Amino acid sequence: MRALLTIAHLTLHEAARRRILTATLIGAVAFLVLYGIGFHFVARNIQQQAGPSALQQRFLLNFLTLAGLYATHFLTLMTAVLLPVDTLSGEIASGVAQTLASKPVRRSDIVLGKWLAFCTVTVAYFVVVAGGVLLLARLLGHFTPPGLAQGLPLMAFEAVVFVSLSLAGGARLSTVTNGIMAFGLYGLAFIGGWVEQVGTMAGNVAAQNVGTVASLIMPTEALWQRAAYYMQPSIMRDLNMTPFSAGSLPSPAMVWYAIGYALLALAWGIRGFRKRAL
C-alpha cells in the first residue's frame, strides 16, 4: 500500500511539475469564461423578452445548463483519455519502468498508484468545470437543475471508466495505438448514443439496437444519458423536448455494467503490465 501511495504521489507531482495541471486548469477557465459570456447574453435575452412563460424560461435555462454540462462531459473524457495515455507505454519505451519495477514493488501497485492519481486529477477537473457551469447558471440565470446528487456522480464515474481504459491500454499498446483505441471507443459511444436518440424519436427499433450495442462496447454515453435524465425537470423528460432528453433511458443495470467494465479494463491493464518484458 505504501508503494502504491508513493507512486500515486509521484504521478501527481509529475502532473504538477510538468505543468499538466496548469494547462488543464487554463483550458477549464477558458471554457468557463466563454460559457459564462454566452450564458449571460442568452439569459438576458430570455428575461427581457415578454413572451416566454415561466415554464418556457425554465426550459431554456435548463437546456443551456445541460449544454454546459454536456461540454463538461466531453472535456472531462478528453482529459481522462489524454492524461494517462502515455504514462505506461512511455515509461516502458524510455526505460523508466525498469527502475521502478526492479524495486521491491508489485507491478500492480505501479498501475494502481497511477490509476489513483489520474482518477483524482480527472475527477477534480470535472468538479471544477461542472461546478463552474452550475455556479454560472446560478449567478447569471438564477437557475439550478434538479437531480444533481444523482447526475454528477454518474458523470464523474465516466471519467473513471476512461482513465481505467486509457491507463490499461498503455500497458499493452504503444501510445499512438492506445490513443486511437480510446478515442475510437469514445466516438463509437458518441455516435451510438445519438443514433439511439434519433431512433427512439423516430420509433426505429434497429437504430435503438445500434445504440444499445454501442453502449455495451463503451458505456460512457449511456451514463451521460442517465445523468442528463436526472438533471432535467420531469416535464421536459416526458415531452422529449431537448436533445438531452433520453428517449430511451438506460437502465440502472447499465451503471453496474459500467462499473464492471472499468474494473475489467483495470485488471486487463494490470495483467498486461505484469507479463510485460521491461
CB of 277 to another protein, least distance (A): 4
CA distances to 132, 223, 232, 257, 258 from 154, rounded to whole Å, are 18, 6, 15, 13, 10
Q: What is the DSSP string of 71-110?
A: HHHHHHHHHHHHTTTTHHHHHHHHSHHHHHHTSS--HHHH
CB of 132 to another protein, least distance (A): 29
Binding segment for another protein (CB under 8 A), chosen from 1-9, 126-134, 179-187, 241-249, is: 1-9
CB of 273 to another protein, least distance (A): 12
Would you say 40 or 274 has its CB closer to another protein? Answer: 274
Taking a C-beta distance cutoff of 8 angstroms, is the pair 159, 76 a contact? yes
Using CA atoms, how far apart are residues 234 and 194, in angstroms rounded to an integer? 21
277 in contact with another protein (CB under 8 A):
yes
Q: Which of 3, 42, 82, 216 binds another protein (CB under 8 A)?
A: 3
CB of 103 to another protein, least distance (A): 4
List the interface residues with another protein, window 92-151 (CB under 8 A).
94-96, 98-106
Using CA atoms, how far apart are residues 65 and 14, in angstroms rounded to an integer? 34
CA distances to 57, 73, 173, 181 from 93, rounded to whole Å, are 55, 31, 11, 19
CB of 278 to another protein, least distance (A): 4
Q: Which of 1, 2, 53, 253 binds another protein (CB under 8 A)?
A: 2
Would you say 2 or 53 has its CB closer to another protein? Answer: 2
Would you say 54 or 277 has its CB closer to another protein? Answer: 277
CB of 214 to another protein, least distance (A): 35
Site string for another protein, 9-28 (x = CB under 8 A): -x--xx--xx----------
Q: How many residues make contact with another protein (CB under 8 A)? A: 23
Binding residues for another protein (CB under 8 A) = 2-3, 6, 10, 13-14, 17-18, 94-96, 98-106, 275, 277-278
